[in-house]
Amino acid sequence: MNIDVIISASDIKPGKLKNRIVVVIDVLRATTVMITALSNGCEKVIPVKEIEEAIEVARRDRSRYLLGGERKGLKIENFDFSNSPLDYTSEVVEGKTLVMTTSNGTRAIKNSEEAERIFIAAMINGRAVARKLVELNEDITFINAGTNGEFSIDDFITSGYIISCIKDLKAGACTLTDIAITSEYIYKNNTNIISFAENALHYNRLKALGYDEDLRYCLTKDTVDIVPEYKSGEIEVW
C-alpha cells in the first residue's frame, strides 16, 4: 500500500489520481459537515461548485432539499444552513438531501473525479476511514482541500492522523511518500491536534469569527463511525 498526500485542491494534476483510492479532507469544516449530516440521518449530500447550481438543484423540491455551505466562512444568502456542523442536527436533516457548496471542500471533491473511489474524511471519522482503507488495501491519495488553493495545517494534521491509524491497524508495510511521512510526523508530534492547529491561518480566521465550538467539534477524533463515499455526484453511506 502506497500512501501519498496532495496538499491543496489546486495542486491536483491530471492523471495523478487515476486508479487510486482518494480520501478528501476539509476538516474545517466542509467534510466534517457532510459526515455529521449523514451520521444524523441525512440521506445524501450533493456537493456542487457554484451557489447558482445549488439553488437550481434545491428548487426542484424545497421540502426535500436543504441548502448548506459558505463563502468566506459565512452563510450564503437564502441558504438554510451555514458551514457549521452544529447546524446539522437529526431534527433538521433526517430524511433530507443536503445540497452543499463551499470554498474549498466541494471543489476538492469535484477535482478528484478521475479517482477510482472517493471517500470523505475528517477527524470525527478518522479511525473509521483508516479501517476501511486497510480493508481495501489499495494505493491511497489523501487530498487536503486546503484554504483558497493553499496548504492548510488543519487538513494536513488530519491526513497525518489517518495515516497513523492505518499504520496501527495494518499488518503489512505501507510505503509513504515524503509528504505523507511529513504529514504523519506533524500528527505524531501533536497528538492533541489543537497545539499545532493553533498555528493555522484558517483555524485562527474561524476563531476570530467566533466559531470556538465548531473548532472543538471538528478537531475531536472519532466521534462518528461512518465512511461516506462520493459516487456519480452524490455522497452517501452506500
Distance (Å, whole) CA 236 – CA 165: 23
Taking the least distance from each CB to its own copies, the nearer of 101 and 111 is 111
For CA atoms 165, 23, 82, 70, the dihedral sign is positive
Q: Do 107 and 150 meet the contact criterion of CB atoms below 8 Å apart? A: no
Stretch that binds its own copies, among 34-42, 85-93, 120-128, 177-185 (CB under 8 A): 177-185
CA-closest candidate to residue 136, choices 169, 185, 105, 177: 169
Interaction of residue 215 with its own copies, rule CB under 8 A: no
- The single residue listed with the C-alpha cell 476570530 is 208
Smaller CB separation from its own copies, 15 or 95: 15
Q: Which three cell numbers stand for residue 100?
A: 452543499
Classify residue 89 by its DSSP letter: -
Site track 127-166 with its own copies (rule: CB under 8 A), x = hit = --------------------x--xxxx--x----------
Candidates 2, 89, 90, 189: give the one binding its own copies (CB under 8 A): 189
Size of residue set near its own copies by CB under 8 A? 23
Instruction: Establish if 186 lies at the interface with its own copies (CB under 8 A).
Output: yes
Give the binding range for its own copies (CB under 8 A) out of 17-25, 77-85, 107-115, 196-204: 196-204
In a 10 Å sphere around its CB, with 0-12 CB exposed, 13-18 middle and 19+ buried, how is residue 171 labelled?
exposed
Question: Over the Cα atoms of the chain, what is R_g?
Answer: 16
Residues lying near its own copies in the complex (CB under 8 A): 7, 10-11, 13, 147, 150-153, 156, 177-179, 181-182, 185-186, 189, 196, 199-202
